[in-house]
């Protein structure tokens, strides 16, 4: 075995894992046993920042991670990138091409929900719930068959997500106003958006492109905690909708693979289930009633660990190589 001047084993394999989410991108560089360096930057999603900025951010991220690890990018054995928008050909093709241009070794590009699934189950069976700005549900049976539900975007679906919660809060506020039901939702939204009248709220809510409804989640939570029943109902509906779609994935898994003897593990990731306790608690309680064959794992998963696990094991599914 050969050692470098700093005592590091020169014949070790090195791996890069990247979690490229909607708001930030995290990267780690590791050997077979431990993480050597890490860094993070803003989103590299093409739909958010454009190709030139995404490319520049990815390059800086890799260079900073390599510098922190003390390992050159020309020493990397294999990389795995879990990226949002993987289903869009331009996204995965861009990501794969840029990674190949910047680092040595094999490159795997997959969905960010897939690395989260592997962070929880290490290639084994289970269900993952992603609820952040958007939502998606992914299950994997023991034979490796994958089951996807949701993920159709904020206009068509994304039930139980931050965007859904914000939009439903505004809708509920107007629903309550028409019926003379007391709620602070519209007043809080008007203040948050810095508007002067309810008419301006209507105008802003109907803008195209519209406002960032996911940014309203903290005020919805605040209203609910302050006793606003309409706000609380929105959060409870979010949890119930998440549970319904988890149960749907579980049914699909059992119908096709017959997995009904052992409990099906359910993991979660994303800002809503991580930080909004009422949504999480409602989902867990609803699943206990509607899908008793499931078992929700404690604590949110770290998606970055799944990317590193895939890089180390080359256990890619539906990936670009």
> Where do the domains of the chain lie, and which CATH numbers do they carry?
14-104 (3.30.420.40), 123-300 (3.30.420.40)
Average pLDDT, the chain: 91
Q: What Å distances lie between residue 237 and 183, 184, 242, 280, CA to CA? A: 17, 18, 8, 11
Partner residues linked to 14 by β-bridges: 76
Residue 321 to residue 309: CA distance in whole angstroms: 17
Residue 138 to residue 158: CA distance in whole angstroms: 13
**What are the pLDDT digits (tens) for 64-95?**
999 999 999 999 999 999 998 888 899 999 99
10 falls in which pLDDT band (50, 70, 90)? low
318 falls in which pLDDT band (50, 70, 90)? very low
**What are the pLDDT digits (tens) for 21-39?**
877 899 999 999 999 999 9
pLDDT reported for residue 258? 63
**What are the pLDDT digits (tens) for 182-234?**
999 999 999 999 999 999 999 999 998 889 999 999 999 999 999 999 999 99
Backbone φ and ψ for 3, nearest 5 degrees, come out as -120, 145
Asked which of 4-8, 65-69, 265-269, 314-318 is least confident by mean pLDDT, the reply is: 314-318
3 state SS of 4: coil
Residue 102 to residue 64: CA distance in whole angstroms: 13
Helices (H) and strands (E) in the chain, counts: 12, 10
Sign of CA dihedral 252, 255, 256, 261: positive
Share of the chain above pLDDT 90, in %: 79
Average pLDDT score over residue span 146-168: 93
Across 48-123, the runs of DSSP E, i.e. the strands, are: 76-83, 106-111
For residue 99 the two structure tokens come to: 């990674």
């Amino acid at each position: 075995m050969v050692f470098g001047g700093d005592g590091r084993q020169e014949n070790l394999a090195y791996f890069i894992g990247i979690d490229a989410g909607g708001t930030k991108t995290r990267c780690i560089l590791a050997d077979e046993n431990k993480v050597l360096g890490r860094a993070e930057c803003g989103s590299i999603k093409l739909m958010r920042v454009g190709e030139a900025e995404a490319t520049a951010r990815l390059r800086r991220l890799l260079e900073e991670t390599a510098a922190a690890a003390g390992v050159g990018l020309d020493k990397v054995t294999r990389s795995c990138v879990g990226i949002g928008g993987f289903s869009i050909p331009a996204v995965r093709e861009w990501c794969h091409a840029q990674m190949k241009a910047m680092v040595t070794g094999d490159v795997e590009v997959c969905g960010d929900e897939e690395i989260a699934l592997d962070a929880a189950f290490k290639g084994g069976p289970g269900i993952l719930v992603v609820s952040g700005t958007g939502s998606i549900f992914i299950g994997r049976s023991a034979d490796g068959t994958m089951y996807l539900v949701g993920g159709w975007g904020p206009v068509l679906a994304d039930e139980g997500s931050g965007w859904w919660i914000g939009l439903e809060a505004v809708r509920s506020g107007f629903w309550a106003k028409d019926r003379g039901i007391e709620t602070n939702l519209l007043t809080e939204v008007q203040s948050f958006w810095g508007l002067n009248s309810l008419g301006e709220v209507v105008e802003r809510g109907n803008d195209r492109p519209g406002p960032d409804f996911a940014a309203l989640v903290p005020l919805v939570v605040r209203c609910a905690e302050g006793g606003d029943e309409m706000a609380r109902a929105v959060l409870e509906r979010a949890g119930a909708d998440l549970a319904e779609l988890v149960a749907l994935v579980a049914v699909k898994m059992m119908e096709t693979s017959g997995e009904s003897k052992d409990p099906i593990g359910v993991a979660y990731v994303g800002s809503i289930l991580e930080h909004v306790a009422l949504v999480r608690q409602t989902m867990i309680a609803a699943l206990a009633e509607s899908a008793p064959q499931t078992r929700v794992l404690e604590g949110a998963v770290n998606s970055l660990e799944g990317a590193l696990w895939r890089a180390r094991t080359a256990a890619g599914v539906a990936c670009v190589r």
